[in-house]
Amino acid sequence: MANPVILSLDDDPAVSRAVARDIRRRYGDRFRVVRAGSGPEALAALREIKLRGEQVAVLLADYRMPEMTGIEFLEEAMDLFPAARRVLLTAYADTGAAIDAINLVDLDHYLLKPWHPPEEKLYPVVDALLEAWSSSPESTATELRVVGHRWSAPSFAVRDFLARNLVPYRWLLADDPEAGRLLAAAGASADDLPLVVAADGTTLVAPSEAELAGLVGMTVAPAADFYDLVVVGGGPAGLGAAVYGASEGLRTVLVERLATGGQAGQSSRIENYLGFPDGVSGAQLTDRARRQALKFGAELLSTREVVGLSEAGSARLVHFGDGGTIAAHAVVLATGVSYRMLDAPGLTEFTGRGVFYGSAATEAPSCVGEDVYIVGGANSAGQAAVHFSRYAARVHLLIRGADLTASMSRYLIDQLDGIDQVTVHPHTEVVAAAGDEHLQRLTLRDTRTGERREVDASWLFVFIGAEPRTGWLDGVLVRDERGFVTTGPDLVAGGQRPPGWSLPRDPYHLESSMPGVFAAGDVRTASVKRVASAVGEGAMAVSLVHRYLENQ
C-alpha cells in the first residue's frame, strides 16, 4: 500500500517549496508529500488520491489565497478525508480567523509563518498530529469487521464499545454483499447479528463486551491478587490517579467497566483544558492518558464491573460481578456519573435505535442532511451540538430553562451563537417518542404554556443531569442524599466522626468513611464537574494515599 499523504497548499511558490522541503526532510521516508498552489488544484489532487484508495494524514493550508481561502479548502477536504488532521498556515494578523476556524472546520492546529527553526516550531506539531491520526480508526485498513442492522441496539452497542476504546473496525450493513459472504462463512444468518470478524477469521456472534475485549487484545484479568492501589473507574479522575500512582512507585491497577475516558472521553472537543489552546477531543486526551498510565506500569482492566467493597484487616477488597476479587492497601473511587434516563413514553424501546445517551460519535456521519435533537443545557450538550452541526441539516438544542447561561461555559454559548445550523429551544421538553423499527417522531412540550407539537425526528441525543453509579456502596460508605460519596471535612460536620471510623484522626480531604478508600472526581459530593478538577483530584488522592500508607 502506498505511503499516506501529507498535503501542503500555498499560493506563494516560495512558501510552498519551503513547506514541502521541511516536511519531506523529516517525514519523506514514511509519507508522500504532495504540494498544490491553489484550492481547486489541491481538491483535484485529493480526489485522485481518494480514487486510488490511498490515505491522507495531514492537510496544511495557507489562510490567505485569492481563489479559495484555506478555511474554504479545509471545509471541502473534510468531505473527502474526514480523519485527516487539519492545519492552517497564517500570519500573526490572521490569528483571530484561525481561532474561529477551530470550530468551523474542526481545525487541529494553526501555525504562524515563519516557523523557523522547524525542529522547534513545526515538527513537534506535525509529530503530535501524525500520532493522533495513526490512532484513528480510519488510519489503517483494519481487518476487524462488524456486520449489523442499521437500526439495531445490539449492533450499536458493539460499534460504540469499539469506538470508545479506539479500536478500528469496518462497519457493514447486513444487505452488503461482503456481509452476506461473512455470514455464510460463519454459518450465521441475519437473525444472529451483530457479527464480528477478526483478521485471523475468528468470529463472534452477538458478542458480550468481555468477549469483544478479549478478541481485540484488551486486558480483562488482573496479573496479581494484591496491589498497593486499586483505582475504580477510568475517567479523567481515575486515569489521573493511575498515572500518578504508577509513576510514584505504587503497584497500581485501574478497573473500568466499559471504556476509559468516561463522559469526557465522548466529548468531540474540549477547549478549556489547560495546555491545549487549540482544543483536544475527549478520545485524544483519553488515549494519551491511557498510554501514559501504561508507560509507568499501571495495569488497565477492561469490562470488569465492580459490585462490592469490603475490609479485610488492613487490606481493602474490591469485588467483581463475576465473583472474583482483588485486594489492595488503598482504593480510589473514580466511577464518575452517568447521564440520567429521559422519562417519557416511547423512549426506552428506541434506546440505541435513534435515542442515545451521550454523544454517540459513531452516529454523527449517519446524520448528514437530517435534523438532530439534543436534550441538555450543560457543556457536554453544547459540545455535541457543535460537533453534530458539521453533519446535520439542523441541530435543535432543547432546554428547560430560559437560556444557556446558568449551566454552560461562555465560550460554548458564543460558539453556538455563531453557528447558523444550531437552534436553541428554551422552555422545551420531550414528552413522547414514536416510530416503527426506529425513532421517527418526537412530541415536544412548552413548559410555560403546556402546548404540545410533534416533529419528525430520527436522532435524539440526551445529556441531562448526572447520577453517580454508587448503589453498590449502599451500607458500606457514607453518601449524600443523591448518592455521591461524602469525603473529608463533610464527614465530621458537627464534630462527630463517621460511624465505624476506627482511626484516632479525622478523615483526610478526599477520604471516605472507610479509611484508605478515597473518592475523586464527579462521584464525590460537591465536586467541580470539570475535566481539569477531576484530573487534579485523581493526583491529590494519590498524595493522600501515600500519607495514609506512611501512617499505617
Strands (E), 353-399: 355-357, 371-375, 394-398
Query: By C-alpha distance, which of 277, 422, 270, 265 is closest to 358?
Result: 265
User: In whole angstroms, what is the distance from residue 350 CA to residue 346 CA?
Assistant: 7
Cell digits of residue 172: 457493514
What is the structure's pLDDT at 52?
Answer: 83
Distance (Å, rounded) from C-alpha 244 to C-alpha 153? 37
Residue 544: CB partners within 8 Å, gap ≥ 6? 508, 509, 510, 511, 518
Alpha-carbon span 293 to 254, nearest angstrom: 9
Domains along the chain with CATH numbers: 5-138 (3.40.50.2300), 145-215 (3.40.30.10), 226-338+467-550 (3.50.50.60), 348-462 (3.50.50.60)
Average pLDDT per consecutive 10 residues, the chain (552 residues; last block may be shorter): 88 89 93 93 91 89 87 87 88 69 72 83 90 68 81 92 86 90 90 91 93 93 97 97 97 95 82 79 86 95 96 96 96 93 92 88 84 94 91 95 93 93 97 96 97 97 89 96 95 88 94 98 92 96 97 84
pLDDT value of position 141? 46
Residue 124: cis peptide before it, omega within 30 degrees of 0: no
Exposure string for 363-401, b = 16+ CB within 10 A, e = fewer: bbeebeeebbbbbbbbbbbbbbbbbbbbbbeebbbbbee
Q: And the C-alpha cell for 510? A: 478526599
Distance CA 376, CA 408 (A): 10
What is the pTM assigned to this prediction?
Answer: 0.80
Q: Which three cell numbers stand for residue 132?
A: 493522533
Contact 392, 419 (CB under 8 A): no
The DSSP symbol for 515 reads T
3-state secondary structure at position 63:
coil
